[in-house]
Amino acid sequence: MAPVQLYIYDLSNGLAKQLSAQLTGRQIDGIWHTSIVVYGKEVFYGQGISTALPGRSHHGQPLQVVPLGETAIDEATWEEYLQDLKDHYTAEKYHLLDFNCNSFTNDCAGFLTGGSIPAFVKDLPTDFLSTPFGAALRPTIDNMYRRPSPGVPAVAPPPPNQPVAASLLQAVAAQAQAPPSNLPPAAAPLAATESLAGSLHPVTNSASFRTLLRTHRAVVALFTDFQGCPPCRMIAPVYEQLAAEKGVRAATGGRGAAFTKIDIRVGAGGTLATEWGIRATPTFMFFLDEKKIAEVKGADVGELKSQIDLLLFQAYPPHPHSSLSLTGVKAISLEPILFTQVPPLDNAMAKFVSFIDAAPPSPATTQAKEILTSHVLPYLKARFAPAAGAGKPAPLPSASTLLLTQWTAATSTLVGALPTETLFPLVDMWRLAALDPVAASWLVSTPNAGPVGVLAGRARDALAQSTQDKGTRNYVLTTLRLLANVFKTPALARTLLCGDGLALGILVPSLLHTDATVRTAASSLAFNAAAGVQRARVATGAGLGGVCESNIRADEADTALCVDEEWQVELISALLEALQQEESEEVIHRLVAAVACLLRFMPADGQLHGLLEVLGARGIMQGKLESKLIKKKEVQRLVDEVGSMCPTS
């Protein structure tokens, strides 16, 4: 028996742990590279399969060493297995996310010990791609591995606001694929596996196959003899395309089937084929919850597609809402409600300066006033109230990093020096800035959205004290409008929605405010948040049986990906309470639209379903229809449809 170890390296050299929460909204502790150590050698995959003395590869010393157990496989059989894998794990097939060193070590672990590598290593690509940031960078990552085709333009580089990410990716890719120091570099750039949605899972032995079945609800397995079977070669492109279309993907919320291709001539593929009684190739097997439910022999494309669709239908049955007409609900635009009106900026600044001058003077407040009048005001006027001129309009200027840094410092000073009720003009300035994509991206990069988080915190505190004087009302109102505008930039909305409950702490009491204008702004913010939930469900197929019925891109549908069900429960409770008391048809319309977004395709067995029964949501909707407060037919239809989506008490 020989010990088997897994060497784990962080290709980002600590950058992932430092920056991941800021960039992705999720803590990722490393970009893991792994290698197998057995019989005194370290074996890894990058530029093909390479071997080095343990800890002597170009990756240096491992960050972590994980014992995988012992193997009864002798060294000669191990070397023969590696030789068989060399045609499978080639340099040309390497892909940072889809087919990498961890795919290789997981296969080897299965062969040597019957186990697998740790889940935190295997699941890293899915964890990364399930973040909006990862989805947005996916084309860039794939472009790093794709050979350019003549006449086809290259994929665009990362957006300007992602330079750190681009540098990180390039550094990781360089380390992952760097040849060992004793080997010459590759003569040509590496190509990617062409699937941008998900690749075939590599399996070359029985242990890896059992792991695949155990870790995926639906599995499609192709047993093939690519070298000696012409029908296998004919069906291969079709199978790979089906894997890309119907495979497990972050973009569908982890739904789909895991596709694998087992070549009987690679590794222990022949033994695995014998174990499953394979007598001809190609043979397709279909598994649900580890049990084989169907089998197709031969290159029958039509039957293959039918069996895949049937497997997915059984694994992810359609949501009950799929059978409802819901014309009014489907007509709801999921675009955020934005407050774009521009006040007379000179007058607004003059009013705010008068508040500053009325406060006890200090060098800090004097400097803050100078920043606002000499730098912030000219920017706001140039961006949001440009002077009309002859000829083609000039491009609108964006805020510079220097301006935003100075403005943030001035905001911090003034929040500490002025009463809450006098700060609403400052909040209104940031409301406009949130509409500037450059300013919004900068806010994303600051902890807790920087000044926006600070200003929102003040509004939450004021609402907690039940203060409803005119000044505080103005402050809460402008803060709600600011928070509604951050939904123009989903990553910024996500920053403010998640974490310490800041947004809910403002939204919930505002929905019951005595001032109708405040309630209107609050219902707009509630709709934006609920629409984010719906956009995420539709784009990822959550609750749809894995079938996406919208062209919303996954990287656009990220505002609710970190909003858990408890958050939704608290929001819908507040919405239903507000609906019972609301008499304004405009506010009712927005509240019901928000409820519709939260209800549609909600998990059938989740907390929301039970809560709706307890709160009598269907009765609340019926009561609104009977109250005669709603005059518009389209609003009446929406309320009626939302009532039909609610469970009966």
- Cα–Cα dist 375/373, whole Å: 6
Q: Respond yes or no: is residue 562 known to be catalytic.
A: no
Scored b (16 or more CB within 10 A) or e, 588-606 reads bbbbbbbbbbbbbbbeeee
Coil, strand or helix at 250: helix
Give the DSSP H or E segment for 37: strand 32-38
Say which amino acid occupies 93: K
The first and second tokens of residue 330, run together, are: 């489907």
- Cα–Cα dist 578/647, whole Å: 19
In eight-state DSSP terms, residue 184 is P
Catalytic residue (one of 59, 101, 319, 513) = 101
Q: What's the length of the chain?
A: 649
Pairing of strands 48-52, 291-297: unpaired
Scored b (16 or more CB within 10 A) or e, 76-88 reads eebeebbebbeeb
> Cα dihedral angle (406, 408, 410, 416), rounded to 10 degrees?
-160
Angle at 418 between CA 412 and CA 420, to 5 degrees: 95
Helical residues (DSSP H) of 339-400, grouped into ranges:
345-358, 363-371, 377-384
Nearest residue to 575 via CA among 602, 561, 562, 593:
593
- The most distant pair of C-alpha atoms in the chain lies apart, rounded to whole Å, by 90
Nearest residue to 283 via CA among 208, 291, 269:
269
Pairing of strands 201-202, 64-71: unpaired
Q: Respond yes or no: is residue 101 known to be catalytic.
A: yes
Beta bridge partner(s), residue 261: 202, 222
- Cα–Cα dist 211/115, whole Å: 8
Q: Going by C-beta distance under 8 Å and a sequence separation of 6 or more, which residues neighbour residue 508?
A: 570, 571, 574
Say which amino acid occupies 543: G
- Cα–Cα dist 48/46, whole Å: 5
Residue 543: Cβ-neighbour burial (10 angstroms; 0-12, 13-18, 19+): buried
Nearest-Å Rg of the Cα atoms of the chain is: 29
User: Tokens 């407050």, residue?
Assistant: 339
Give the CA distances from residue 122 to residues 32, 34, 190, 477, in Å, rounded to whole numbers and listed in that order.
9, 10, 22, 47
- Cα–Cα dist 206/510, whole Å: 59
Say which amino acid occupies 329: V
- Cα–Cα dist 232/222, whole Å: 9
Beta bridge partner(s), residue 66: 6
Half-sphere exposure of 346 (CA within 13 A, CB side): 1
- Cα–Cα dist 636/155, whole Å: 47
The first and second tokens of residue 544, run together, are: 């749809």
Instruction: Provide the annotated active-site residues.
Output: 33, 101
